[in-house]
Amino acid sequence: MQEEMKMIYLAVPLVCLIPAIVAGLFGRKIGRIGAHTVTILGVGLAFFLSCYVYMDVMDGNTFNGTVYVWGISGGFPFEVGFLIDSLTASMMVIVTFVSWMVHIYTIGYMHDDPGYQRFFSYISLFTFSMLMLVMSNNFLQLFFGWEAVGLVSYLLIGFWYTRDTAIYANLKAFLVNRVGDFGFLIGIAAIYATFGSVDYSAVFASAPSLVDETIEIIPGTSWNMMTFICIMLFIGAMGKSAQVPLHVWLPDSMEGPTPISALIHAATMVTAGIFMVARTSPLFELSETALSVVLVIGALTAFFMALLGLVQNDIKRVVAYSTLSQLGYMTVALGASGYAVAIFHLGTHAFFKALLFLGAGSVIIAMHHEQDMRKMGGLRKLMPWTYATAVIGSLALAGIPPFAGFFSKDLIIESVHASTIPGSGFAYVAVLAGVAITAFYSFRLLFMTFHGKPRMDEHTLHHVKESPWVVVVPLVLLAIPSVLAGFMFMEPMAFSNYFEGVIYVSEEHDVLGAIGSIYEGKTGFSLVMAFMLHGMVALPFWLAVGGILLAWLFYIKKPELPGKVVDSVKPIYNVLVNKYGFDDFNQTVFANGTVKIGKFMSEYGDRRLIDGFFVNGTARVVEAFSRFLKPLQSGLVYQYAFAMILGLLGLMTWFLRVAQG
């Protein structure tokens, strides 16, 4: 039976990889229909196989073993191995389901694009890369999947390579992620140097005995090795999961087609960092310093990126900054040792965020690729299905019960409130403020897009209609878990043994245990109802309601108010529009600075020092010496004879002096 399951585990990523190769290499031969058929069938099969694996894991069956050894160097094995447990199985279902919906949606969104087959190849390959990442049982394979999703994201963000903005965006994403990945690689190297292995089980088993191990990075200054490893790993997570200050690439990733925006932001790539920290919880729990760093960085991202969502007018960028903020919430949960809640929010967020992105794409199709919300309005009656699903997505994002986002977001806030880790007080204030801001910009998008008077030209208005079924069906299917996921998974993920033996939390950091004690004795539906009733009298709920009402006031009741508010706080508005100056700073210091260093080294290091001094200087010395010797080569015999006589006299004089001495 185990051998049969091993073949199923292997089949899940391969049924994504093989169609990607077929669509990529043979796209012209199989045509557009062939390309989307093989990839959709492949990812769909991966989803059903993932569900089968999930049910098997829920029955108590897990797997941790090597599938293939592809090389041994210096006694170090390079292995392909799988770790199949509740965390892996959950991620497999989320990744494959969202990817499957995106694949179906792409038929409608990309139907007239000349790179149709290539796009399907890329998104299927993206899914394969993410599956290899989440299914790995060692840090080496994790790094392979980590780099693979980065590479494919580069191809997808720059998919429309004729656009300068797309090329700029994919290069920016690639370079920023390399910064994070460098830290991640150092962390993996430190793990191997400390533990002598990169296998999860071996590392996690040995970690408690090496908790006091130190390292001297700067001579005379000792660092706790576990803290160093965790911070290096988290730097990798900061790049992939777009945490401040390595967040700058994610908004620009909107230059890629909308389906890939949904896939990157919902289920792949950006969730990799969250997954990795949750997977390595046995290490992070041994360093409170590392947890505090994670907590503070997450809080900064959650609050300050939410503020940027307030001033965006591009419909996709509003949703993009929402992703940044929600990733901050997940990171805050990780820092508070609420790893299970972080994964719970990762799952609920995947559904409603994919829904919002694909809904935005549906609007963009109807608006003939117009993305400015100031040129929309009044689409509610013209696009009823898109509107209904957008309402569900917005309510879930705002954290309104009974939608999925309410349960996971409320649990994060409660976890931070219960935490005693340094920085938890600041984080609690940040995530509370983020609730109101999130609700405001979510419904600002909804009201500006679907309500009020139409603000587009007559020609566009005349041609606006509901999107085709290949676009609408994924919206409806994503809307269902956006409503039900909270009911279904809150109790098992947060208050039961769902992650027992998978995620490790020390007794002093057990925030979920403290929250669960409030609802002791309640299970199933009664627990869910008790949590909802408690949440509806708590501050986060009323902050969310306040944010929605304020958005209604600003964009429905008195639409002239936003302009007046902007005029009264112009300096703050300019700071937000300029994204706190991160892009300008990176462009001035890192991009232009690197160019200037390159020009300086080219001018003074290469042209003047190497070419000018060493190469040309040597040539000039030889030339000068040869000019000095040239007169001696006259061709006259008497001159040569005279020189020989002088030479002999010189030698005789020298010998005589030596003899006398």
Omega of the bond leading into 402 within 30 degrees of 0 (cis): yes
Q: What is the pLDDT of residue 197?
A: 87
Q: Is the pLDDT of residue 367 over 80?
A: yes
Q: Is the pLDDT of residue 120 over 80?
A: yes
Tokens at 453, concatenated? 């008077």
Q: What is the pLDDT of residue 559?
A: 86
Largest CA distance in the chain: 121
Q: Is the pLDDT of residue 1 over 70?
A: no
| 454 or 42, which is more confident | 42
Determine the Cα–Cα distance for residues 458 and 361; give it in Å rounded to an integer. Answer: 21
pLDDT (mean) for 320-326: 92
Strands 221-224 and 214-218: antiparallel
Please answer whether residues 316 and 444 qualify as being in contact, where contact means their C-beta atoms are separated by less than 8 angstroms: no
Determine the Cα–Cα distance for residues 365 and 471; give it in Å rounded to an integer. Answer: 10
Q: Is the pLDDT of residue 66 over 90?
A: no
Interior CA angle at 303 toward 298 and 304, to 5°?
100
pLDDT (mean) for 37-44: 94
Run of H or E residues at 70: strand 63-73
Among 18-27, 41-50, 580-589, the range scoring the smallest mean pLDDT is: 580-589
**Helix 139-157 to helix 164-195 angle, to the nearest 10 degrees?**
180
Interior CA angle at 656 toward 650 and 661, to 5°?
125
Determine the Cα–Cα distance for residues 131 and 124; give it in Å rounded to an integer. Answer: 11
Q: What is the pLDDT of residue 161?
A: 87
Cβ-based burial of 370 (10 A; exposed 0-12, middle 13-18, buried ≥19): middle
Q: What is the pLDDT of residue 65?
A: 85
Q: Is the pLDDT of residue 100 over 80?
A: yes
Question: CA torsion 244→250→251→256, rounded to 10°?
Answer: 170
Tell me the HSE value of 476 on the side-chain side, using a 13 A CA sphere.
9
pTM score: 0.89
- Neighbouring C-beta atoms of residue 333, cutoff 10 Å: 36
- Of 184-188, 245-249, 608-612, which has the strongest mean pLDDT? 184-188
Tokens at 365, concatenated? 């199709």
pLDDT tens for 477-507 read 999 999 998 888 888 888 888 888 899 988 8
For residue 138, give the DSSP letter: B
Residue (of 130, 110, 112) closest to 120 by Cα position = 110
- DSSP β-bridge partners for residue 82: 65, 136
pLDDT (mean) for 446-451: 91
Assign 413 a pLDDT band (cuts: 50, 70, 90). very high
Tokens at 235, concatenated? 């730097």
Among 82-86, 330-334, 521-525, the range scoring the smallest mean pLDDT is: 521-525
Cβ-based burial of 72 (10 A; exposed 0-12, middle 13-18, buried ≥19): exposed
**52 Cβ partners below 8 Å, 6+ apart?**
8
pLDDT tens for 269-311 read 888 999 999 999 999 999 899 999 999 999 999 999 999 999 9
pLDDT tens for 212-254 read 888 777 777 788 899 999 999 999 999 999 898 888 888 888 8
Assign 438 a pLDDT band (cuts: 50, 70, 90). very high
Tell me the HSE value of 647 on the side-chain side, using a 13 A CA sphere.
6
Assign 395 a pLDDT band (cuts: 50, 70, 90). very high
What does residue 356 show for φ and ψ, rounded to 5 degrees? -70, -40
Determine the Cα–Cα distance for residues 253 and 36; give it in Å rounded to an integer. Answer: 23
**360 Cβ partners below 8 Å, 6+ apart?**
258, 315, 316, 319
Q: Is the pLDDT of residue 661 over 70?
A: no
**370 Cβ partners below 8 Å, 6+ apart?**
364, 376, 456, 460
Average pLDDT taken over every residue of the chain: 88
Q: Is the pLDDT of residue 28 over 80?
A: yes
